[in-house]
Amino acid sequence: MTAVQRTARPGRLPELLLTVVSVTIGLGAYSLVHLGAHGTMPDNMVTTSIIFSAAALVAHLLIRWTAPYADPVLFPAALALNGIGLGMIERIDIATDSSKWGSQAVFTLLGIALAVLTVITIRDHRVLRRFTYTSLVIGAILLVLPLVPGLGREIYGARIWIYVAGFSFQPAEAAKIFFAIFFAGYLVVNRDNLALAGPKVLGLRLPQLRHFAPILLAWLVCIAVLVFQKDLGTSLLFFGLFVSMLYVATDRLSWMIIGGLLALGGGFVVFQLFPHVTARFNVWLNAMDPDVYDAAFGSYQVVQGNFGMASGGLFGTGLGQGYPSIVPQANSDFIIASIGEELGLAGVFAVLALYLVIVIRGLRAAAFVRDGFGKLLAAGLSFMIALQVFVVVGGVTRLIPLTGLTLPLVALGGSSLVLNWIVIGLLLRISNASRQPNTPSEPLPSAWDGEGLAKRDDHKPELTDADRADTEAMRVP
């Protein structure tokens, strides 16, 4: 790939216009819910409109001030998803006579503020590479916190929450960001070793045996999470994140195949040995069996969610006019089923399209940013969002076993919402670096070029110019 001169425009006006559209979508969903359920506008419509419009405008101005070349689509797409989620949470509140919308609205403002703060404070994403192994330690500590007696709590069979001073928090949501930073820092240094040619089996070039250790360690950690915390979703997410980033770093299909085989093998073993995993698979495979349907923690939730989506049809029953509250956790784990019932298949596709926009824009930033660490971090964060959406929607629609994860930026949950906004802030910062004007796009590192390292004769790792620049930038005086 030859170096080419790229030009980029700041994108102030496009982001402003898209932000106005996103705010309109969120406020429109909120008002339509009340019109559909009560026939009147909400009493606090004016106050809500002013607060959220002002928050979106201030966030837009601060992003454009501190990161003028950040991708102009990322923030509005995330804002639109958050607005749709708030509308559906208010819909469930009306049906169940609860008051979850207020706290979620507060967490929305907090999440937007932290996303902007991330963009402001991290002026150069490469500084995060200094904390590669620190991120590993912090992520590991966060992951085991729910197992601490007196601190962790088990809810619906999964031990993934901690309670501090009366507030609940899901540490795995923060751990995934720290692990993404660690994986990016680790792989950018070791990608050449991991991509070295090994034995060829059935036409597939495998890595050398001594380089299996990282993926085996990641596999064992994820199996431990599945066994001790009974959290299938987090286990799948972390392992999928590592394997996808490993593939991006090395351009080796063999790593994907090895990861898939390890996941299938580990899943089969824990399915045979641990009852809570067996129960999840039983619900997935035999949801319509009356015994499974009526059992405690059986398939009632999954079946009712599928019935709700089916009743929505193509265009849905309309906001405020369905019965999504029949499904347990309709505003959290099963919020996509609530959207499918009241907005129909078209609404589900619109939500998935917004996620696709975020993922594609994140990968675009990864493709054009000039340093290897930034490439891997942006790709990892994008894959993390894509994997979580796939796991959640796949579980609700019975494509895969139900996992208990929440839909990013949409579902009820303060820790998930706030930390996913921080992910958006990191992607904004990296995209700003990738779109800086008057900077040539350097050739991709050896592990990124379509040839890989398999055809090298010397098999000696080489540093690219981008890596040398990274090393100099990270050098502490």
pLDDT one-digit tens code per residue, 420-431: 999 999 999 999
- H/E stretch holding 154: strand 152-155
Cβ(385)–Cβ(407) under 8 Å?
A: no
Tokens, residue 189 = 């240094």
pLDDT one-digit tens code per residue, 128-139: 999 988 988 888
Q: What is the pLDDT of residue 472?
A: 46
Q: What is the pLDDT of residue 206?
A: 64
Exposed, middle or buried, 78 (CB in 10 Å: 0-12/13-18/19+)? buried
Residues facing 162 on adjacent strands = 152, 169
Q: What is the pLDDT of residue 282?
A: 87
| Mean pLDDT for the stretch of residues 51-79 | 95
Nearest to 152 by CA among 176, 140, 169, 165: 169
Query: Torsion angle of alpha carbons 35, 38, 44, 45, nearest 10°?
Result: 10
DSSP label of 206 = P
Nearest to 8 by CA among 369, 365, 435, 367: 435
| Mean pLDDT for the stretch of residues 187-206 | 69
Neighbours of 214 (CB within 10 A): 16
Helix/strand/coil (H, E, C) string of 361-421? HHHHHHHHCCCHHHHHHHHHHHHHHHHHHHHHHHHHCCCCCCCCCCCCCCCCCHHHHHHHH
Residue 477 has pLDDT above 50, yes or no: no
Confidence of residue 453 (pLDDT cuts 50, 70, 90): very low
Q: What is the pLDDT of residue 259?
A: 78
Cβ(153)–Cβ(161) under 8 Å?
A: yes
Amino acid letter, 148: V
